[in-house]
Amino acid sequence: MKYNRKLVIFILWLSLLAVMLEAKHSSADTTLNRHNLETLYKQDSLLINKESVKHSTDVVTTHMLKYKVDGKDLSVFLLNEWTTEQFKNKEVDIYALSAPDICGCSTKRYNVYGGLTVANKENVQSKKEYHIPINLWIKGKQETKHLTVSTKKRIVTAQEIDIKVRKLLISQYDIYSNSDQKYSKGSVTLDVNSGKDITYDLYYFGNGEFDSMLKIYINNETVTVDQCHVDVVIN
């Protein structure tokens, strides 16, 4: 009986130790993921912002187009063949985040998901800016501060707006800070007047790699900026 009691205590101790180690491991993963997410949206070197780009004739799949931008070889992945066909043999504007392709190649290869619109030179030459209003709720309380992001085009990808909103939130509210992790949940919703709203999870980590985090943009959704606003919730 005495040995059985010791065995039970030992098993309980092992179980508690396993739970503590798992919690520690999970916390370390979360810290790393937050850091990676902040780096992805904060680091300008990963942002591709280029107008009037022509795709390469080297098309590897029906869901991907190749571009060369500022010395970088881009593989732009799209959701389906129909979307890919829309951009073939056309100049495009690219506004997207890129993930370095780990291939051991001598060239600089990057993966991009969505981020394409057909080039509109007239729109760019007009130098008109469109301002998109942002409503922000922090822990249930709406901020009174006036927030906006701007773009030069009337029709842009949802990715462009999401990137600009996150950059603003990182700059002004430090949403991915690991020092205190005061925020752990949140969303960015593009409220479209005529159509389906588009929502992104601010704390979606994928598998922790840049490439996985960016796949949320593969459907290349677009919005008309003067017919939408942005709602942001962080907790």
Residue 50 has pLDDT above 70, yes or no: yes
- 101 SS3 class: coil
Domains in the chain (CATH in brackets) are 38-45+129-234 (3.10.20.120), 47-118 (2.40.50.110)
pLDDT of residue 108: 86
- 140 SS3 class: coil
Q: Report the residue count for the chain.
A: 235
Residue 200 has pLDDT above 90, yes or no: yes
Q: Give per-residue pLDDT as tens, 65-87.
A: 999 999 999 999 999 999 999 99
pLDDT of residue 98: 98
The 8 Å CB, 24+ separation contacts for 81-87 are 83/219, 83/220, 86/118, 87/55, 87/116, 87/118
Q: Give per-residue pLDDT as tens, 3-42.
A: 566 665 666 655 554 444 343 444 558 899 999 999 999 9
Q: Give per-residue pLDDT as tens, 101-133.
A: 876 565 689 999 999 999 986 665 667 899 999
Give the bridge partners for 102, in sequence order. none
Q: Give per-residue pLDDT as tens, 132-162.
A: 999 999 999 999 999 999 999 999 999 999 9
Q: Give per-residue pLDDT as tens, 160-194.
A: 999 999 999 999 999 999 888 899 999 999 999 87
pLDDT of residue 22: 45
Instruction: State pTM to two decimals.
Output: 0.86
Residue 95 has pLDDT above 80, yes or no: yes
pLDDT of residue 12: 61
pLDDT of residue 13: 57
